[in-house]
A and B are shown apart, each in its own frame.
Chain A
């Protein structure tokens, strides 16, 4: 149990276009989901915390108008990269926190590789 999926697993888009990445918790409800970004040979950096039914909380330095997050249901959060540029090329990973769980609090998706040309 506790599976998190991401779609797509990889995407190539042209500069200036928008890309939507989905994060789904398949067998549990997740009140909170987190979005991370990982550049090559770098650590995962938290971008934002997404809470179902409310606005996302963005980390310092992350443009909320560029990285739109929607958490419309307890099993789905989406990250839309608007007007993508080559510097947005990265590995985006989401994690989901099961509602009401205890110690093991987050389950990670497999990631989405975004390449902007």
Chain B
């Protein structure tokens, strides 16, 4: 059974810092991996999606990497801002069109 783990569970940083969020998964036979942002009491906003054949994806200040063989992904946030404060969720999909399996998330707090 696939298990997705995110470390750390919570992170507090001052504004401007670069930071890395970690995600690991037990079954490397994934179709793709996706990073989401969730604000308190809200739904999910997709940030980056990495196909199993890809190594990384970038969007603005965000960069996500994938090492499928070792079952790891990282989300790098450059020059963090208070508006980045949210919970970041990592999720994997085993086959096209199937449901996502989520980690518990990392709650990020960026202070000004």
With a cutoff of 8 Å between Cβ atoms, the chain B residues found around residue A97 in the complex are 97
| A108-B97 in contact (CB<8A) | no
| B104-A32 in contact (CB<8A) | no
- A24–B44 Cα distance when bound, in Å, is 16
Q: Quick check: is B83 within 8 A (CB to CB) of the other chain?
A: no
Given contacts A103-B49, A104-B49, A105-B97, contact A44 B89 (CB under 8 A): yes
Given contacts A32-B97, A43-B89, A103-B49, contact A108 B104 (CB under 8 A): no
Query: How many inter-chain residue pairs (CB < 8 Å) link A and B?
Result: 50
| A43-B104 in contact (CB<8A) | yes
Interface string of B85-112 (1 = CB under 8 A from A): 0000101010011011111110000000
Smallest beta-carbon distance B77→chain A, Å: 20
CB-nearest residue of chain A to B90: A43
Most A CB contacts (10 A, CB to CB) among B42, B44, B101, B105 go to B44
Q: How many residues of A contact B (CB 8 A)?
A: 24
Given contacts A43-B89, A43-B104, contact A105 B42 (CB under 8 A): no
CB-nearest residue of chain B to A93: B43
Given contacts A103-B49, A105-B96, contact A43 B42 (CB under 8 A): no
Q: Quick check: is A13 within 8 A (CB to CB) of the other chain?
A: no
Partner of A46, one of B4, B36, B99: B99
| B96-A108 in contact (CB<8A) | no
Given contacts A43-B89, A93-B44, A110-B42, contact A103 B51 (CB under 8 A): yes
Q: Quick check: is B60 within 8 A (CB to CB) of the other chain?
A: no
